[in-house]
Amino acid sequence: MKNSTHKLLEQKGKRRISMLTAYDFHTACTIDEAGIDMILVGDSLGNVMLGYENTLAVTVEDMIHHGKAVCRGAKNAFVVIDMPFMSYQGSVYDAVMNAGRILKETNCQAVKLEGGAEYADRIRAIVQAGIPVVAHLGLTPQSFNTLGGYKVQGKSLAVAQKLLADAQAVTEAGAFAITLECVPEALAKLITERTSALTIGIGAGKYCDGQVLVYQDMLGYTDGFTPKFVKKYADLHSVMLEAFKQYKAECEAQTFPAPEHTFGIDDEVMGKLY
């Protein structure tokens, strides 16, 4: 049975929610098979799938293209799709129309957007249109230029107070869940206690209602920089690199393809071709 906002919210305070990113059909199928509650088609696809340095160049079309594939693979998992940079910042109208497009064209269950009280009007209007919203607070990568980089948010009293106020504002606006990215654990705990929305942490400690990770990070897909909050559950980079090297060697040595990978033809038929 497909997860719903109601079923997910019933878990608050009872069972922790698991969420992973996905950007393609097969990964979504495997995540779904593992029983993960939620899948996020994050705009991190700009970094991990498209090779951009940041998420700013990602378009609504990119999100729809990848979102459609993920939704085809997610039988039970609740799929959330990120609203990319400049798809909601400009106006309430843009926000509702782009959220509507994403939902209609992909068959996802919710959209996510970055920002707090300043975007409460967008969240309220999207929810009013019948589209569940996940808010995203703390380190909001689409604003890295104004945040001064990718830093933990909420260590100072002023920023911690703003985060608490933002969590309240997005909850009142109708967000059913809040992603908390790179927020000190004790602050994430307080936010989780004070909001009726589900908090889904990434680098926000163990007291959130759920956790999310980028699947390439947790699978060790690359040997590049790994953020402090990531636990590597596998070392796929080594597995893939070894397989690719062995394949190259076997192509050169002509040991691949072997007879079991090869199609035959009657000698008689072949004989008539010469």
Q: Which residues are catalytic?
A: 181
Applying CB under 6 A, among 31, 32, 42, 71 the residue interacting with ligand KIV is 42
d(CA 202, CA 214): 9
Q: Which is nearer to ligand KIV, 171 or 179 (CB)?
A: 179
Interface characters, 1-40, with ligand KIV (x: CB under 6 A)? --------------------x------------------x
Three-state secondary-structure class, residue 114: strand
Tell me the Cα Rg of the chain.
Answer: 22
Cβ proximity of 110 and 132 under 8 Å: yes
Q: Which is nearer to ligand KIV, 113 or 131 (CB)?
A: 113
Residue closest to ligand KIV when measured from CB atoms: 42
d(CA 112, CA 115): 10
Interface characters, 73-102, with ligand KIV (x: CB under 6 A)? ---------x--------------------
Residue located via tokens 């693979």 = 73
Q: Which is nearer to ligand KIV, 43 or 209 (CB)?
A: 43
CA 172 to chain centre: 24
d(CA 94, CA 57): 17
Size of residue set near ligand KIV by CB under 6 A = 12
Q: Which stretch in 41-49, 168-176, 226-234, 266-274 sits in contact with ligand KIV by CB under 6 A?
A: 41-49
Interface characters, 101-140, with ligand KIV (x: CB under 6 A)? -----------------------------------x----
216 lines the binding site for ligand KIV (CB under 6 A): no
Cβ proximity of 81 and 112 under 8 Å: yes
Applying CB under 6 A, among 60, 111, 214, 219 the residue interacting with ligand KIV is 214
Cis peptide before 257 (omega within 30 of 0): yes
182 lines the binding site for ligand KIV (CB under 6 A): no
CB of 84 to ligand KIV, least distance (A): 9
Task: Give every CB contact of residue 245 below 8 A, 6+ residues apart in sequence.
Answer: none
44 lines the binding site for ligand KIV (CB under 6 A): yes
φ, ψ of residue 27 to 5 degrees: the values are -65, -40
179 lines the binding site for ligand KIV (CB under 6 A): yes
Applying CB under 6 A, among 3, 8, 27, 43 the residue interacting with ligand KIV is 43
Burial class (CB in 10 A: 0-12, 13-18, 19+), 204: buried
d(CA 193, CA 188): 9
Q: Which is nearer to ligand KIV, 146 or 264 (CB)?
A: 146
Q: Which is nearer to ligand KIV, 125 or 212 (CB)?
A: 212
CB of 123 to ligand KIV, least distance (A): 16
DSSP string spanning 33-101? Answer: HTT-SEEEE-TTHHHHTT--SSSTT--HHHHHHHHHHHHHH-SSSEEEEEPPTTSSSS-HHHHHHHHHH
Instruction: Give the footprint of ligand KIV on this chain (CB under 6 A).
Output: 21, 40, 42-44, 82, 136, 179, 181, 202, 212, 214
